[in-house]
Structure 1
Amino acid sequence: MKLTPDGVAALLASLRVDASEKLTKGPTVLIAGPTDAGKSSLSRRLLWQALVERDHPILFADVDIGQGEISLPGTIGATEVSSSSMRSIDGVSPAVEDRERYGEMHNYPLQWTNELVYYIGHTNMSEKDWLFKWYISQLAARLSERQASGPQLAASGIVVNTCGWVEGQGYRLLLDCIRAFQPSHVLVLGDTKLYDQLVHEQAAPSVVMLPRSHQATRRSAAYRREARVAKIQQYFSRHVPPAMPFFQVQVPFDAAAFYRLVQNNRQEMQVKKETLIESMAHTIVAMCKTPPADAHLIRATVMGFLCIRSINKRSKTLVFVSPCAGTTLPSKHFLLGQIEWIAA
C-alpha cells in the first residue's frame, strides 16, 4: 500500500475515533527506514497531528539507540505526549486554533517529560543485540500496561520510531521490534526493498510505503558523533550558557555501586557487580532505583544519568558531573555502558 503522510494521518485519525467509541486500542504505528529518511520528523508530525485532532495524550516510543530522540544516546524509551508537550519557540507558544500551521512551520517541536528509559549503554545495536531485544520486550510490555490503565490513552495508540540499520542483523532486530510492539501499521520511508521484505514477511496487518522526506538531509558519521556529544552536553547543562560550570557531586566510594548486565555461557542474563577503577573516568552511568536485590536491576528503568569525572583512590572519593545540584545521591545503584563524555 502506498500513501502520503497526509493520507496516513487521516487514516490514523479515523481509527482513533473508532477506538475511542468502542473503548479499544487505537493504532500502533511503527516507522521504519534507512538512516536520514525522515523517521524522527515523521514521528513528531504524527504525534503533533494526533494532539491537534483529539487533544488526548498519546504514547511515543523511541528505539533508535544511535541518536536518542527521547533521552541520551545508548538508550531506548517512551513517553506520554500531551498538548503540554507542544514546545514554544522563542517564547511564542502555538495558539489552539493555529497548532497545525505552527507545527508545520517549526518541524513539530515537542518536549519530552516523565520518560520511561532503559539504558543499553551502546550506540551500536550489534554490540549488545541480546540486551536490545530484552529491553524492547520490557518497553513494549510497560506500554501495554499503561494502555490498560486508561481507555483514552489506549485509543490514541502508539507511535514507534526505529533506527536506520535495516540490513542483515539490523533487519532481524527490526523484526524483533515488530514482534514486540505488534504494530497495526508499519510505515516504510524511502526503501522499496525493505517494504517488499516486510510485505513478504507479513510483518504487520498493514505495511505502508511512504516517500523519503524531502526535508531529510544526508548526515556523515562525523556529524552523528558530534550530535551525540551535543545531546549529552545539553542533558548535563540543562540549557545553561556554556560559560557556567556543570554541577558536580563528590561522594565516597561506598556511596555508589556499579553494575553491568552480561550473558553467561548459557546465554542467560546476569547482573555483574564491577569494581571501581580509574579507567571508568568520563563514563556515563545510569542511576536506577534501589532494587530489592541486585538481580532486579535486569528490569530497572533509569532515574537519570551522571558522568564519572574523576576517581581519587587516595581519598576514596569520586566526583560525578550531574544535571542538577545536590550533595547526596537518590540511589547508589548505577548501570555501566560504553558511552563516554570526554569533556566532563
Structure 2
Amino acid sequence: MSTNDSATTASTRQFVLEKESELRLEVGPEALLRLRLTAGAAEVFGAELPPGKWIIVPALRNIAIFTWKGATIELDGISEVEYVADETPMVSYVNVHAILDGRRSRTKNSNNLDSSQGPRTIVVGPTDSGKSSLCRMLLNWACKRNWKPTFVDLDISQGSITMPGCISASSVEMPMDAFWGFPTEMPVVYFYGHTSASVNVELYKVLMKELAQTLEKRFLCFPEYEVAGMVINTMGWIEGLGYELLLQAINTFNVNVVLVLGQEKLFSMLRDVLKGKPHVDIVKLHKSEGVVLRNQKVRQMSRSYRIREYFYGLNNELSPYSISMNYGDISVYKIDGGPQAPRSALPIGAEPITDPTRAALVNINYELIHAILAISYAKEPDQIISSNIAGFLYVTEIDVESKRITLLAPCPGELPSRLLIMGTLKWSEN
C-alpha cells in the first residue's frame, strides 16, 4: 500500500484498501488526475465506482474513495495530497440513511393522509464541515433504494445545482456521478445574486419562502416526491443572523430531521430551541477528518470554476454563443430597493423607506461588465421576485456610443425573456 502526504509526481500507483477505510485525495487547480477501481467495490459520496474504467478527477476536488468490504484503487497523474484513513464516520452516516429509508417506507405504506410527508432532512454545521458531501451520500443512497428525493441547496456561496448566488432545488431520480455534479430533473432556481446572505437578508428570506411554496405545490402533483422527502444543504454561517436564517429554514421547509455536523455548540442551541417541536429529531454527527479547510482564495477560485463550467462544461465540451443586442432589447433589474427618495421630497418628519425586495430598473453602463445576469421567467417587473430563472448570461462588452451590449449565452437562440436580473456576482474569463 502506498501513501503520500505531499504533492505526487505523474506516475501510476496502487492503493489496497481494507474494509471500511477510504483513500482521501486533494486535487489542485491545475492538476490532472485519473483513477480506476481494479478490484473490490468502492464509492465516492455514495456513488459506486465502475470497475476497470479510468475516471478523470476534475480540478479543485477533495474526495474520499470509501470501501465497505475492501478495494484496490489505481491512480495516474498528480494530486496535492493522497492518503488512506481507516477511521471514518461512514457507519454513522449510513445508519442515518437507514433511519430515513425506514421513514420513507412507513410513509409510503401508511393510509393516513396526514402522514404522507416523508423525511425532510436539513444538514447544518460550520463552513467546511462536509455538509454538501453528506447531502450527496444521503441522496445517492436514497436513489439506490428507488426513492426520488428532492435536493434543496440554500448555500449561495458555491452552487451545487446551478450557478453560485442561487437558492435552488431539484428532484434526484438516479444516483449522481461521483464527480460530474447533480443530474437535475425539473430544477427550480431563484436568483439571489450575491454570495453572502448578509448583503440582502430580507431577499434571502423571501426567496426561501418562494422556493418552499413551489415545492409544496410540486409535492401535491407528484406524491412520490413528497414520500421521498428532502435533503437540504445550508450555508456555513451559523452565528448571529446566520443562526436565525437556519431556524427560519427549518420552519419554512417544515423540517423534521436536523443533522448537525461537527458543532457541539450549534447542536445544543438547536436542541434547546426546538425542544417544543416533538416531531423534529436532532442528530449530532462527527465530521470527517478528511474535510479540507479552504481559504477565501480557494473559495473564490472554486466559484469561478463553477461559473465557467456553466458556460463551457467541465471539460470544455460546450460552445457558448455570443449575442449582441441594443440596450432597448432588454431590461436589467436589481433587487435592492433602489435609491431612496431625498428627504426634501418627503413629508415633514417622514423617514425614507426602501423595500429590499423591490426590483429597481438599472441603467446599462460599464458597471455591468463581467456581471452574471439571470434570465427571469417573469412577464412583468413586479413578478421578478416570485419567478424562477430560465438561465444565465455573462456580460462581455458594453458599447456606450452605439448603445449595444454583448452577452455570452450557453446556447444560441432567442432569449426566454427580456427581463434580466443582476446582483454583485461577477466573473472574468481571464
Deviation of 1:114 after TM superposition, in Å, equals: 2.7
Structure with more of its chain in strand, by fraction: 2
Residue 234 of structure 1: aligned partner: 309
The TM-score with structure 1 as length reference comes to: 0.88
Query: Are 2:334 and 1:247 equivalent residues in the alignment?
Result: no
Map residues 141-290 of structure 1 onto 2, 5 A cutoff.
Answer: 141-202=213-274, 205-239=280-314, 241=316, 246-263=320-337, 265=353, 267=355, 269-290=357-378
**Structure 1 contact 20–151 (Cα < 8 Å) conserved:** no
The TM-score with structure 2 as length reference comes to: 0.71
1:332–1:107 distance in 2 versus 1, CA, 3 Å: closer
Residue 72 of structure 1: aligned partner: 163
Residue 423 of structure 2: aligned partner: 337
Residue 410 of structure 2: aligned partner: 323
1:195–1:108 distance in 2 versus 1, CA, 3 Å: farther
Deviation of 1:214 after TM superposition, in Å, equals: 3.1
* Percent sequence identity over aligned pairs: 30
Query: Are 2:388 and 1:304 equivalent residues in the alignment?
Result: no
Deviation of 1:239 after TM superposition, in Å, equals: 3.6
**Structure 2 contact 160–181 (Cα < 8 Å) conserved:** no
Deviation of 1:307 after TM superposition, in Å, equals: 0.8
Structure with more of its chain in helix, by fraction: 1
Cα root mean square deviation, aligned: 2.0
**Structure 1 contact 4–210 (Cα < 8 Å) conserved:** yes
Following the alignment from structure 1 to structure 2, what is the Cα–Cα distance between the partners of residues 71 and 11?
29
Instruction: Look up the equivalent residue of 1:28 and give its one-letter code.
Output: R
Deviates more, 1:223-232 or 1:194-203: 194-203
The one of 27, 36, 42 equivalent to 2:119 is 27
Residue 130 of structure 1: aligned partner: 202
Higher Cα Rg, which structure: 2
Instruction: Give the 3-state SS of the residue equivalent to 1:4 in structure 2.
Output: helix
The aligned length equals 319
Following the alignment from structure 1 to structure 2, what is the Cα–Cα distance between the partners of residues 86 and 195?
29
Deviation of 1:145 after TM superposition, in Å, equals: 1.2
Instruction: Look up the equivalent residue of 1:41 and give its one-letter code.
Output: S
The one of 23, 44, 48 equivalent to 2:140 is 48
1:86-137 CA-to-partner distances (Å, cap 9, x unmatched) read 33xxxxxxxxxxxxxxxxxx47964334311111111011111111111011
**Structure 2 contact 160–182 (Cα < 8 Å) conserved:** no
Following the alignment from structure 1 to structure 2, what is the Cα–Cα distance between the partners of residues 255 and 211?
53
**Structure 1 contact 45–108 (Cα < 8 Å) conserved:** no
Instruction: Look up the equivalent residue of 2:389 and give its one-letter code.
Output: V
Residue 176 of structure 2: aligned partner: 86
1:145-191 CA-to-partner distances (Å, cap 9, x unmatched) read 11111222111011100011111111111111111112110000010
Deviation of 1:273 after TM superposition, in Å, equals: 1.1
Instruction: Look up the equivalent residue of 1:60 and give its one-letter code.
Output: F
Q: Structure 1 unaligned runs (5+)?
A: 88-105
Deviation of 1:321 after TM superposition, in Å, equals: 1.0
